Amino acid sequence: HREVPPLGGVPLAIKDNIFIAGGVVTAASKILEHYTASYDATVITKLKEHGAVFLGKTNLDEFAMGASTENSAFQVTRNPHDTDYVPGGSSGGSAAAVAADEALAALGSDTGGSVRQPAALCGVVGLRPTYGAVSRHGLAAMASSLDQIGPITKTVDDARILFGAICGEDIYDATSTNSSLEAFDLERTRNMTVGIPDEYFVEGLDERVARGIETVRESLERSGVSVRRISLPHTKYALACYYIIVPAEVSTNLARLDGIRYDRTVKEPKSLNDLYVRERGGRFGTEVKRRILLGTFVLSSGYYDAYYTQAQRVRRLITQDFEEAFKDVDVILTPTAPTPAFKIGEKTDDPLSMYLSDIYTVPSSLAGLPGISIPVRSASEEELPIGFQLIGKRFRESDIFDLGSLYEQTTVSQ
């Protein structure tokens, strides 16, 4: 007989900014509406080797810019727990597909929270790997110093299996490297110390989320894990820093979509400028244009040092906050998102309030650290899901998987 590969026949959904050779890959943008991928992303090659089956592509915010999947040029994705609510984003289609039992698991991508936040809002598990743990080859680039592909699953164990299948060094991504993934060890997990950052429990945090995090802390302590308060003093600058660096990288990455390569629809342009205006002006959505304009501005001569260089310095300070904290603790526990799912349309006219959805996921993204969102077990199935986040040291996915598994095991048997 032939041996069945580890993911043999396992049906997966794939975010539509990841290339599958021969298939259309739109990144939920009109500008790629008819574009067919000519090669497999490295994560797809690896999953094929493991025997996985691809059910289809899932909706996202255009080029992964957004937190609700309402920025898709094609569809609005709804939250399976209540269809008046958003599924989060930008990997909202992947999270909704897993939550609705349409796929056993899915792949998303996370730049500032796009795997973890929709996982939290849909009541499933979402991992953002350490920057460099998973190859970005074949992912439509948003902000290359932050983008990572990660699994969205029903359980922490499933996330561990999928991460194990897709991680590793790849010659097509110079930032990728090998990770070592350990098996669950109960004793080691119980001896961990968990830190809770003071700066994450501030105005804007929903009461329901705060209570949820409290129950997670109690559950971990009952298992023997020690929990202590920590400080990440530069947290308040993280969103401002992110919204300089991301638009800067977006404006350069998306310059390649010039209306000539990839997918061209304008037949007889009067001039090069006319072509750009009609292709880029006519086919990019509002949020994408907003970021291209912002990014072009912060990179322009005379402003570069004031904005971009300054943001890089702040990014360093945020990274140092985590390095300091991880001298005393193994894992950091935080909310994933400040609120449960919000209503469709509620934040579409207010980009700033949409950006605030990622306040708890952006800092660890800037620091390149792994983070996982896991559903808080609640007494009532009626309520909208809430997620908690575990942030680990660089390349210590094993630690956050172990602690997450411990939480799942103890809350199931209670």
Q: Is 338 in the site for ligand GLN (CB under 6 A)?
A: no
Residue nearer to ligand GLN on the CB measure, 195 or 363: 363
E strand or H helix that includes residue 229: strand 226-230
Q: Does the annotation mark 15 as catalytic? A: yes
Residues 6+ apart with CB under 8 A from 391: 322, 331, 332, 334, 364, 369, 370, 371, 400
The gap from C-alpha 18 to its chain's centroid, in whole angstroms, comes to 13
Local structure of residue 7 (DSSP, 8 states): T
Q: Which stretch binds ligand GLN (CB under 6 A): 109-117, 227-235, 265-273, 335-343?
A: 109-117
Given candidates 12, 14, 65, 161, which one binds ligand GLN under the rule CB under 6 A? Answer: 65
Q: Which stretch binds ligand GLN (CB under 6 A): 112-120, 179-187, 194-202, 260-268?
A: 112-120
Query: Do residues 126 and 93 make contact, with C-beta atoms less than 8 angstroms apart?
Result: no
**Looking at 15, 46, 347, 393, which residue is catalytic?**
15
Q: How far is the CB of 303 from ligand GLN (least distance, A)?
A: 21
Please tell me the distance from the alpha carbon of residue 165 to that of residue 52, in angstroms, as a whole number.
Answer: 10
Query: Do residues 143 and 49 make contact, with C-beta atoms less than 8 angstroms apart?
Result: no
Given candidates 31, 64, 298, 372, which one binds ligand GLN under the rule CB under 6 A? Answer: 64
Q: Is 29 in the site for ligand GLN (CB under 6 A)?
A: no
Strands 105-110 and 331-335 turn out to be unpaired
Q: Is 111 in the site for ligand GLN (CB under 6 A)?
A: yes
Q: How far is the CB of 224 from ligand GLN (least distance, A)?
A: 34
Q: How far is the CB of 239 from ligand GLN (least distance, A)?
A: 10
Q: Is 358 in the site for ligand GLN (CB under 6 A)?
A: yes
Q: How far is the CB of 88 from ligand GLN (least distance, A)?
A: 9
Residue nearer to ligand GLN on the CB measure, 134 or 220: 134
Coil, strand or helix at 195 = strand
Given candidates 90, 189, 336, 405, which one binds ligand GLN under the rule CB under 6 A? Answer: 90
E strand or H helix that includes residue 149: strand 148-153
Q: For residue 320, what are its two tokens?
A: 């140092």
Q: Is 72 in the site for ligand GLN (CB under 6 A)?
A: no
Q: ∠ CA(48), CA(52), CA(53), 5° rounding? A: 105
Q: Does the annotation mark 90 as catalytic? A: yes
Given candidates 80, 113, 123, 385, which one binds ligand GLN under the rule CB under 6 A? Answer: 113
E strand or H helix that includes residue 189: helix 186-190
Sign of the four-CA dihedral 331, 235, 145, 264: positive
Interface pattern 247-286 for ligand GLN (x via CB under 6 A): ----------------------------------------
Q: Is 170 in the site for ligand GLN (CB under 6 A)?
A: no
Report which residue type is found at 369.
L
Please tell me the distance from the alpha carbon of residue 410 to that of residue 405, in angstroms, as a whole number.
Answer: 9
Q: Is 366 in the site for ligand GLN (CB under 6 A)?
A: no
Q: How far is the CB of 361 from ligand GLN (least distance, A)?
A: 7
Residue nearer to ligand GLN on the CB measure, 59 or 398: 59
**Looking at 68, 109, 114, 398, which residue is catalytic?**
114
CA distances in angstroms from 357 to 116, 121, 186, 334, 338, listed in the order given: 11, 11, 34, 14, 6
Q: How far apart are the first and last CA of the chain?
A: 42
Show which residues are catalytic: 15, 90, 114
**Binding stretches for ligand GLN (CB under 6 A):** 64-67, 90, 110-114, 142, 246, 358
